[in-house]
Structure 1
Amino acid sequence: MSDSTPLNVQLKGLGLRKYPSDSYPVDGVTPHRHQWALHDALTTGVSGAFVNDAPTGAGKTLSWLAPTISEGLDTVAVYPTNALIEDQRKNIELMLDDIDGGDDVHLLAVSSDTLQDEYATDYPAESNGEILSYLLRDAFQRSETVILLTNPDIFVLLRRRIYHNRTDGINFFEVAVVDEFHRATRKEQNTLLFLLDEMQDADTEICRLSYLVFLSATPDEELAGRFEEAVSAPYYPLTGFGWRETPHPAMAADDQPAIAFAPGQLPTAYRPVLPPLELRLQPATTFQTASRLAEQREETIDQLSQGRTVLMLDGLHEVDEIYRLLQDSELGTIERIDGFHRADIADKLNRFDTLVSNAAVEVGVDFDTDQVLFSAHSAATFFQRLGRLRTRKETSKAYAYIPPYVYKQLQSEINAYGNEWINRERFEGLVEQHYVDNSTPKSFDWRYSTVEAYHHVEERVENTPSDEAGLIRKEGWKRIERHFCRPHGTVFSKQDAKRCHDSVQTKILDALQMYRGDSLQLTVYDPDQQVVQNYNLTYLLRHGDIQLLERDDFLTRVPDRLGDDVSRVERYSIGYCIYYGTYDGDGTEGDDEYTGRDLCFKPTGDLYSLLNRGKRQTREPKVCTGLEVETSPDIDGLDQLKIELSETEVLCYPIEGHVSEVSKQYSIGEFGFVYPLLHPEGDTATIAFSHDALYLYCRVQDQQEADGLDIEVSEL
């Protein structure tokens, strides 16, 4: 068999049983077992951490929404993206009329955009935090049930009183719902879980939070262990029969809550959640799926013509390449949704025949499609994107482009099944075992999350009466041990934590208090889409057809009506540019396959000193200035950006070695984001930024400790 011959798999669909009862508080809905389980938990006073791992399309939103509204439980729901917040607001507004108590709900959707655009006129204030403070104060003065939809960044800022030091509205919520928790990075999971546990464990007179609800794909063994061991409240996975020893009266104890079904085999008592699939697996390295599709253009168009199709690719430049490739085809209405094409999403989803996108539609956005075509650089991405095909019992099609090493290892195993229909659970296990795990190193827990939590506890102590300080420290340290030390068997005392905390640069401590790390961004005006936004600097320098400008020149190019948008986003950027699309090369002969500019950074000043201060064994990440950038070919206006960038403080970690060597040595993967650094002495070096700098440092330290252990063993 050729190394590129497609592997064909037939996957069974998944159906969930319906359990009718007049007591469910939603008109016209016959709930599933997971919906009954969470309904019972939130209506019978069982405090705990509940994980709903029902598949996409199974009604996870309704599972928490119906009981919180019918019981009048004030709820904060945390979503990973602002687009998902808006999508969920629309979905919830449509559900309210059918839910008992739905006419007595005060629904808020809060992001930095809505605070500036939607709420600023009603609550004039000097900052977003102050607007939100007033917004929550007024909400809790009403007699209605408060439902707040927001992102984790704002939630963390509220809890730590960084957003506005007088905001205590976050402590009035009784239920916290976290969506897509499994998709967060390790640092993000650590931050959110620690703060939620702290809130739920507090006296109800201080914080009313009693229920933690996580909406997630099936937690892996480690994540389930963290729910079980780290969180103070009992952990209840809502799989199987739910949290109750005795099932709800509406459910028969000996029923199957879910079944796998082949075409034509779904009983009427079950609702289809995931359809039977004809899945085709093909090899493609990360960020190269678009090139594969372009090479096989006729075959690609033939595949896309088989039905309404959604493509999910890794890079925005891939989206651009395929979108242009399909323009002169006969595929009907072709739409795109990505970081630069986010307007009119609802209309695009209604009218597309072929939708070209990236991670922008990977979660949350609802669409109906006959088939999907996607790339998958990780097992989590594979099943997330595959799961976007749902709620139909007819056979659907999917085309997956996976790393060549995974494809090669799957060949014999997949072919052994022949024409047999395979259960999804069995197939998932088969795929997961072959992907290399490039996740954040576990040592991040005690190297940095412990320090972050220690700093948070000490900040609380400084802002509390002296007679309560001792108890806050004592409870805080116990929580730190549960979350970050005990799961790894790490011997780490309070004195160790204090010593590590005191040795970490203050600016890194400040960065750790945020949910997400800072990124290098440019303020961008896209004249085609008529929008202003911030976007990743390194992407724009490599793949953007851009013109870099000074601020005054930039403002002359932007329509006056977008002036407020510039003011809102420019505080988080280091420069300005006009974006004309994807850069295709300089037009020289032989440049047909050019995929971007060469990009490298140069160290000067503080960064130069950091790079030359010892070797990897002693160097640590640092917030410093002195970063310069070079591109080939050059970009108009780059000299101005060099000045701004060299004076910008950046959390970074430089190490010796070429990017490819560093990536391979420390199993970073294509989404680790490390970049070439031109060492002044001519040696090759690599640099990582923000939280990626901390992750790389952990990997380097882990390997050095492992090498040291090997030496000790050999000496014995």
Structure 2
Amino acid sequence: MSENYTINLKAVYSQTVSTLGVKLPDDWSLSWHQRETLEALRDPNIDVVFNTAMTGDGKSLAAFLLAMVDGVSTMATYPTNELARDQQKQVQNYKDKFQPEKDPQIYRLNAAILEDFIETNKLPSKQSGLTNLSNQAEILLTNPDIFYYIHDFRYLRRFKKDGKTKGENANKLFSKIDDNYKLFIFDEFHVFSSAQVASIFNAILLIKHTVPGKKFLFLSATPDDLLLDFCDKSGLNYKPIEPAKKEKYCFSVNGTQWRQISQPITLFFPKTLEPNLSSSYDWLIENSESVILKFFQDYPGSKGAIILNSIAAVKKLVKHFKGIFKPLDLEVRENTGLTGETEKAESVEKADLLIGTSTIDVGVDFRINFLVFEGADAGNFIQRLGRIGRHKDFHPHPYHAYALIPKFIVQRLFEINSSPFQDNETYDRVTFTEAIRSSYPFVNEFKQYPKRWGAIQSACVHQELRRLTHQYPEAEKNFKEAIEAALDVNIWHKYNQINQCLEEKKKKVIDEARSFRGSSQLDCAIYDDTNPEEPENERFKTYNLPGILSNFKFEWVDRKEFIQQAEKSRVTTTRFQEALCCLKLTGYREVREDWRFYYPEDINDIAKSGKVQVLKNLEIRQPQGSGINKISDAVSGRGLVCFISDCDRAYLRAKLGLPIHFQAYSLADKYSSDDKKSPPYTIAFGKSALMLETLLWFRKPKNDEGWIC
């Protein structure tokens, strides 16, 4: 009996069309969706375009055609630095091929690059750096965080006097940036939650009502229903480009007007993986030679990737696979959130086997014919499988992928009466994708978050527009009407919510609501000694405390000493200013450390209140290691935005469908710390705290003051 179920996925072909007079490089043609996207972006009556073409079908070209053929200035945002780096090379390739008349300058920007640019050019502020860079770059590739913070009035010189905000006008930066760019692109936006959808929507409406005439393009294999709904209700004109619904894909050779975008793939599903943290790692160790190494031996010249959820698992596997691949003169590289910039930049190109985490599963254009991946949820599964089969370089070698998913999902796919797959059968990608989506457990989308907390951002934007009525006479009114219609809120009620938080000395809660991905209040400054091949200046990083406690061995480092070492290595240290503490990572744990948060008093009343808190005196309990007491003191002394539930973490994850990386952890108090069972409470931090509160707040009567922040 086979240890795997196996299915075959058909090749995918995308329909090509005439080019409508667009001058293309020799031997190039446009897919249907690329032409439709270009037409929609040229249409003065359309504000927002959604392109849902399949992975590998050239959404990037669709996005940058306007820049290449019409010279339209473009700001493109990407959720990961790795994807932005990959796209910079892609856009430069388009420029080389199209040879646009205006010779657009292409820059890539993230927080670290901005800091270095400011220091190198002796600029006084981030505002100056952003203005300088946008003035120089007709095509700017950045992240949605920077885009959002520009439109949340960060980077301005502000101060409080007599209870009023003084200093630079809110439009000093965003109007300059928005004047410079005509098109704003949001790539792989489906990876973000409703909190980020609300943030970007607020920014789009600000631009719409202050600097009109801009275009917004969202690229995603799955359109965000929440954002579509907001566009509908707010009066934004939008157009979806949906080639699958328009039958612009086929799955066999069907004439000359079809371009192959995906190779046939053989997909294996191991049958016996348990739903625990170690099952994928154990499978990879057990099959490292009999399956993985054997594939490379049988098919010389192959390239492969392993994409996992755990950095610690990657670290251990890199060492293991280097040992067994070295005799074949094959190179094993890593790419994770802890990998230095030099290694990240080289790893995708140079690795025969690349082992990484989510830094490489979002949109990066791999040339591989072998893939092993974990699928945390349906979207994650489809995203990661999309890394293989994008290029025909490996023929006549096969394309093999192994999906490391829990056996209860495998059983749904193959073993129940209504299961969508049969072993050794062949399926097309559309049928396959629908089956995967229907077989995975529910994952919460936090659809009430924009109404509860996203509208806090809206109120702050509205307040700034009230101060800018001379520059934008109708903006305040139009923005208010659009937001209230889209989010189903009363903007004045949001002002009251803000004021109540301020009265209760919970400004940090408002700051958290206005952050994009969260305030990183548990991030530590680290010196990473786990990869001796990294350049010295790239070993200074930041990483979240729970991940460190679970997976790494570490030592405490004095903050002053850490900063001095970083400066000696010519590292810009501003990003370490808000770090919880400074640590040196010395190795990784073979087994995840069992630890928990601890509150030294009775936590029950706080848990029952159902409020987001700014809580001090939390401690860390159980892990034994150098510096643990000092880490606990650092946590205890910091007021942390959190939400506490009187349900244990496993129950909440199952009942509420919390995402795999949701920041919720076990919590014990003075009455439960000695209990041998799991701690009875759950604590969520930062943005996750607001999201968890949202799930429960909307179930409570609105006259229950305990549930109103």
Q: Specify if TM > 0.5.
A: yes
Query: Partner of 2:30: helix, strand, or coil?
Result: coil
Tell me, yes or no, if the aligned pair for 1:522 and 1:573 is still in contact at 8 Å. Answer: yes
Cα deviation digits, residues 450-488 of structure 1 (max 9, x gap)? 233123212332x3247967x544323322233322xxx
Residue in 1 that maps onto 2:382: 383
C-alpha deviation, 1:13, in angstroms = 1.7
**Cα distance between partner residues in 2 of 1:105 and 1:43:** 19
Query: Partner of 2:120: helix, strand, or coil?
Result: coil
Mapping of residues 308-707 of structure 1, within 5 Å: 308-330=303-325, 332-342=330-340, 343-392=342-391, 395-412=398-415, 417-461=422-466, 463-465=467-469, 471-485=474-488, 492-494=489-491, 496-504=493-501, 505-519=506-520, 520-527=522-529, 528=532, 529=534, 530=536, 531-555=539-563, 558=565, 561-565=568-572, 567-584=573-590, 595-603=591-599, 611-613=603-605, 615-616=607-608, 618-632=609-623, 634-682=624-672, 684-702=680-698
Mapping of residues 78-157 of structure 1, within 5 Å: 78-101=77-100, 103-118=102-117, 120-122=119-121, 124-136=122-134, 138-139=135-136, 146-157=138-149
Tell me, yes or no, if the aligned pair for 2:193 and 2:446 is still in contact at 8 Å. Answer: no
The 1:697/1:44 distance shift into structure 2, 3 A limit, reads closer
Tell me, yes or no, if the aligned pair for 2:513 and 2:690 is still in contact at 8 Å. Answer: no
Tell me, yes or no, if the aligned pair for 1:11 and 1:423 is still in contact at 8 Å. Answer: yes
Cα deviation digits, residues 517-563 of structure 1 (max 9, x gap)? 0121111112322321101111111111211111234356x465424
Query: Partner of 1:439: helix, strand, or coil?
Result: coil
**Cα distance between partner residues in 2 of 1:110 and 1:629:** 37
Cα deviation digits, residues 58-77 of structure 1 (max 9, x gap)? 22222121222432322211
**Cα distance between partner residues in 2 of 1:66 and 1:493:** 40
Query: Partner of 1:116: helix, strand, or coil?
Result: helix
Query: AA paired with 1:280?
Result: F
Query: AA paired with 2:526?
Result: V
**Cα distance between partner residues in 2 of 1:437 and 1:620:** 26
C-alpha deviation, 1:227, in angstroms = 5.9
Tell me, yes or no, if the aligned pair for 1:284 and 1:292 is still in contact at 8 Å. Answer: no
Query: AA paired with 2:147?
Result: F
Mapping of residues 254-269 of structure 1, within 5 Å: 257-261=248-252, 265=253, 267-269=255-257
C-alpha deviation, 1:312, in angstroms = 0.4
Query: AA paired with 1:513?
Result: R
Deviates further, 353-362 or 232-241: 232-241
Query: AA paired with 1:564?
Result: V
**Cα distance between partner residues in 2 of 1:240 and 1:409:** 29
Cα deviation digits, residues 72-124 of structure 1 (max 9, x gap)? 322211111223222222221222132252552132322111112245423x2
Residue in 2 that maps onto 1:281: 269
Query: Partner of 2:277: helix, strand, or coil?
Result: coil
Q: Which runs of 5+ in 1 are unaligned?
A: 140-144, 243-254, 486-491, 585-594, 709-716
Deviates further, 431-440 or 406-415: 406-415
Residue in 2 that maps onto 1:185: 193
**Cα distance between partner residues in 1 of 2:605 and 2:54:** 50
**Percent identical:** 21
Cα deviation digits, residues 495-517 of structure 1 (max 9, x gap)? 54444343344322222222110
Tell me, yes or no, if the aligned pair for 2:184 and 2:215 is still in contact at 8 Å. Answer: yes
Instruction: Indicate yes or no: 2:43 matched with 1:53.
Output: no
C-alpha deviation, 1:20, in angstroms = 4.6
The 1:434/1:568 distance shift into structure 2, 3 A limit, reads same
Query: Partner of 2:554: helix, strand, or coil?
Result: strand
**Cα distance between partner residues in 2 of 1:131 and 1:382:** 38
**Cα distance between partner residues in 1 of 2:294 and 2:611:** 50
The 1:119/1:103 distance shift into structure 2, 3 A limit, reads farther
Cα deviation digits, residues 316-360 of structure 1 (max 9, x gap)? 011122222223314622111112224233433333221111111
Tell me, yes or no, if the aligned pair for 2:366 and 2:390 is still in contact at 8 Å. Answer: no
Alignment RMSD: 2.9
The 1:701/1:101 distance shift into structure 2, 3 A limit, reads same
Residue in 2 that maps onto 1:251: none
**Cα distance between partner residues in 1 of 2:442 and 2:654:** 13
**Cα distance between partner residues in 2 of 1:163 and 1:107:** 23
**Cα distance between partner residues in 2 of 1:357 and 1:241:** 30
Query: Partner of 2:57: helix, strand, or coil?
Result: coil
Tell me, yes or no, if the aligned pair for 1:532 and 1:562 is still in contact at 8 Å. Answer: no
Q: Calculate the TM-score normalised by the size of structure 1.
A: 0.84
**Cα distance between partner residues in 1 of 2:68 and 2:290:** 50
**Cα distance between partner residues in 1 of 2:471 and 2:97:** 50
C-alpha deviation, 1:445, in angstroms = 2.5
Deviates further, 634-643 or 376-385: 634-643
Tell me, yes or no, if the aligned pair for 1:524 and 1:535 is still in contact at 8 Å. Answer: yes
Mapping of residues 290-309 of structure 1, within 5 Å: 290-302=281-293, 304-305=295-296, 307-309=302-304
Query: AA paired with 2:317?
Result: I
The 1:418/1:523 distance shift into structure 2, 3 A limit, reads closer
Q: Which runs of 5+ in 2 are unaligned?
A: 157-167, 674-679, 705-709
Query: Partner of 2:367: helix, strand, or coil?
Result: coil
**Cα distance between partner residues in 2 of 1:312 and 1:601:** 30
Tell me, yes or no, if the aligned pair for 1:96 and 1:102 is still in contact at 8 Å. Answer: no
**Cα distance between partner residues in 1 of 2:262 and 2:276:** 26
The 1:466/1:622 distance shift into structure 2, 3 A limit, reads farther
Query: AA paired with 1:680?
Result: K
**Cα distance between partner residues in 1 of 2:257 and 2:276:** 42
Aligned residue-pair number? 652
Query: AA paired with 2:523?
Result: Q
Residue in 2 that maps onto 1:247: none
Query: AA paired with 2:75?
Result: V
Tell me, yes or no, if the aligned pair for 2:263 and 2:399 is still in contact at 8 Å. Answer: yes
